[in-house]
Amino acid sequence: MRGLINRNAVVTGAASGIGAAIAKRFCEEGVNVLALDRNKVAWADDYENADSLQLDLTKDSAPDSVLENIDSFLKGSCDILVNAAGVSAMAPFEQTDSEVWDTTLAINFEAVTTLTRKLLPFLKKSDQARIIMIGSICSEFAPSGMSAYVVSKHAVLGLTRALASEFGTDGITVNCIQPGAIVTGITAAAFEGDISFREHWESKAAIGRLGLPDDVAPLAAFLVSEEGRFISGHGIYVDGGAMQQG
Ligand SMILES: NC(=O)c1ccc[n+]([C@@H]2O[C@H](COP(=O)([O-])OP(=O)(O)OC[C@H]3O[C@@H](n4cnc5c(N)ncnc54)[C@H](O)[C@@H]3O)[C@@H](O)[C@H]2O)c1
């Protein structure tokens, strides 16, 4: 990908799954990556151009800790923000108590908003600024029994569109990657433990299989590259064609 060497990126949810695949791909493209997660980012030691910070992004202190590490590891500059940290919440609406609701919204949406707002001054100074949200097919689709997750992911797509409009003249592109069924930390147990769930998602994908984090990472690398400069304000499915099938 063109225009990525020595760019500086912050990637959340980077210990596992989609965030880890994107962050590693960025490192391989020559991007310096500050990898954030509440869990230890074990792979970061394998790359000279990666550093990691273990923190809960829903805590009030998180954004300032990120800023300190941008100053120290990224030398005070940030061109790329990828908001990948997230949790799943599968429960009928009537059994989704306010704690589950608030926890889901706190990481999937509120923390995204807070960190993005905090990093905007850095992004505005970049000549190739990119924000990538990780939404979901559930940003535009509402399977039964996932109301908190669905609401959080619809909000992420709405935020993508609003920020793309507001910060386009600052040279910032904002896009939302919408994965389908991908085998990661939040889904692996469900796919392994429930054969009919797995078969449903395998056959729903036109390509006939579940996705892997490395199926998602190339789109992120393209969007943040120089070549992605005129793509903004969109949700882009990476779902193996699942959303085209009833
Ligand atoms: N796996 C799928 O099928 C799928 C589909 C659509 C969208 N997504 C989205 O992709 C994103 C990445 O999820 P994944 O599937 O790779 O799951 P994952 O569990 O492998 O990765 C999520 C990461 O987010 C981190 N995280 C969660 N809460 C955090 C917090 N409060 N502070 C800091 N880090 C936190 C976790 O520790 C984990 O490393 C999520 O936003 C998820 O909603 C996943």
Q: Is the CB of 35 under 6 A from ligand 1?
A: no
pLDDT digits 0-9 by tens, 183-237: 999 999 999 999 999 999 999 999 999 999 999 999 999 999 999 999 999 999 9
> What is the number of the ligand 1 atom nearest to the C-alpha of 186?
19
Q: Is the CB of 57 under 6 A from ligand 1?
A: yes
pLDDT confidence of residue 75: 96
Which residues neighbour 165 within 8 Å (Cβ) at sequence distance 6 or greater? 233
243 pLDDT more than 90: yes
Percent of the chain with pLDDT over 90: 98
pTM above 0.95, yes or no: yes
Neighbours of 191 (CB within 10 A): 18
Q: Is the CB of 89 under 6 A from ligand 1?
A: no
Looking at 26, 73, 109, 149, which residue is catalytic?
A: 149
Q: Is the CB of 18 under 6 A from ligand 1?
A: yes
pLDDT confidence of residue 99: 96
CA 213 to centroid of ligand 1, rounded, Å: 11
**Mean pLDDT on 156-165:** 99
8 A C-beta contact, residue 29 and residue 1: yes
| Closest CA relative to residue 10, chosen from 114, 88, 89, 150 | 114
67 pLDDT more than 80: yes
CA 169 to centroid of ligand 1, rounded, Å: 31
State the average pLDDT for the chain.
97
87: helix, coil or strand? coil
pLDDT confidence of residue 204: 96
**Mean pLDDT on 112-141:** 98
pLDDT digits 0-9 by tens, 74-103: 999 999 999 999 999 899 999 999 999 999
pLDDT confidence of residue 48: 98
Distance from C-alpha of 108 to C-alpha of 113, rounded to nearest angstrom: 9
pLDDT confidence of residue 53: 98
7 pLDDT more than 80: yes
Q: Is the CB of 16 under 6 A from ligand 1?
A: yes
Question: Among this protein's residues, is 47 annotated catalytic?
Answer: no
Label the pairing between strands 80-83 and 129-134: parallel
In the CATH scheme, what is the homologous superfamily, with its name and number, of domain 8-183+213-238? Answer: NAD(P)-binding Rossmann-like Domain (3.40.50.720)
Angle at 182 between CA 227 and CA 108, to 5 degrees: 80
> What is the number of the ligand 1 atom nearest to the C-alpha of 180?
5
Q: How confident is the model at residue 136 (pLDDT cuts 50, 70, 90)?
A: very high
Q: How confident is the model at residue 140 (pLDDT cuts 50, 70, 90)?
A: very high
pLDDT confidence of residue 231: 98
pLDDT digits 0-9 by tens, 102-121: 999 999 999 999 999 999 99
**Mean pLDDT on 168-186:** 98
8 A C-beta contact, residue 153 and residue 111: no
Q: Where are the domains of the chain?
A: 8-183+213-238
246 pLDDT more than 90: no
**Mean pLDDT on 167-177:** 98
If you search the block for the tokens 């997660």, which residue do you land on?
A: 37
8 A C-beta contact, residue 33 and residue 53: no
